[in-house]
Structure 1
């Protein structure tokens, strides 16, 4: 299993998505923890690396975990994404590993990874995503 931590950031009923260089699908910004890291430490580090913004640790709030087939991997490999809400300072900009960031709505669902689609469906059902 691939275990990832991700940020849910909303603006005008849309969620911030990121696309890595050389990839065709968007995912929620974040990534895998390094040995010994907590979820919060992973979130803070990954978001700094990917979006060049600083998360306020006091605002981090768990928003659920989602599992789906890992994109581009052999059948049976699952990715679990644990999502967090958090406030940050700065304006998100794509880092060296990110080719594109975009505010995505449910209509953009087909541009997402498999786990991203599940997350977007959940957000739509709960009224957080248009």
Structure 2
């Protein structure tokens, strides 16, 4: 691995029990909404901003529950690892719309995750928090 990418990511869960995943433009796999913090921005501020930009969901920072820091192979940056500060956010079902660089979004049930094309960080670490 030649590099590390730091991001903030959100496990967004609808009140119907489905988890929101997004596919960025040019990507082949889905992942949790989120992205890289701007200079001087902390992890929570970054996830609040990224969720709003990518999904249109405007949420109070206090609504984000910290889940921890997780690392895996980066899905969209060859030879990199991604290190994510992750948060869970519960929202009304269907409250998202694709924005920013998002090509597609999906609400997944727990039964659908095995067949879904998910990024390693999502599949191996984050998505399970939707149903805990």
**TM-score scaled by length of structure 1:** 0.82
The 8 Å contact of residues 88 and 129 in structure 2, kept in 1 or not, is answered as no
The yes-or-no answer on 1:116 pairing with 2:122 is yes
Aligned counterparts of 2:74 and 2:98: Cα–Cα separation in 1: 23
Q: How does 1:76-115 map to 2 (within 5 A)?
A: 77-87=80-90, 91-106=95-110, 107-109=112-114, 110-115=116-121
The 8 Å contact of residues 55 and 87 in structure 1, kept in 2 or not, is answered as no
The 8 Å contact of residues 5 and 82 in structure 2, kept in 1 or not, is answered as yes
Q: CA deviation at 1:2?
A: 0.8
Q: CA deviation at 1:91?
A: 2.4
Aligned counterparts of 1:123 and 1:19: Cα–Cα separation in 2: 19
Q: CA deviation at 1:16?
A: 0.5
Aligned counterparts of 2:17 and 2:103: Cα–Cα separation in 1: 23
User: Deviations for 1:2-52, whole angstroms, at most 9, x for unmatched residues?
Assistant: 111111111333210000112110010010001100111101111111111
RMSD across aligned C-alpha pairs, in angstroms? 2.4
Instruction: Specify every segment of 5 or more residues in structure 1 that has no aligned partner in the other structure, as ranges.
Output: none
Instruction: Specify every segment of 5 or more residues in structure 2 that has no aligned partner in the other structure, as ranges.
Output: none
Figure out how many residues of one structure are paired with residues of the other and give that number: 125
Asked which structure has the greater RCO (Cα within 8 Å, sep 6+), the reply is 2
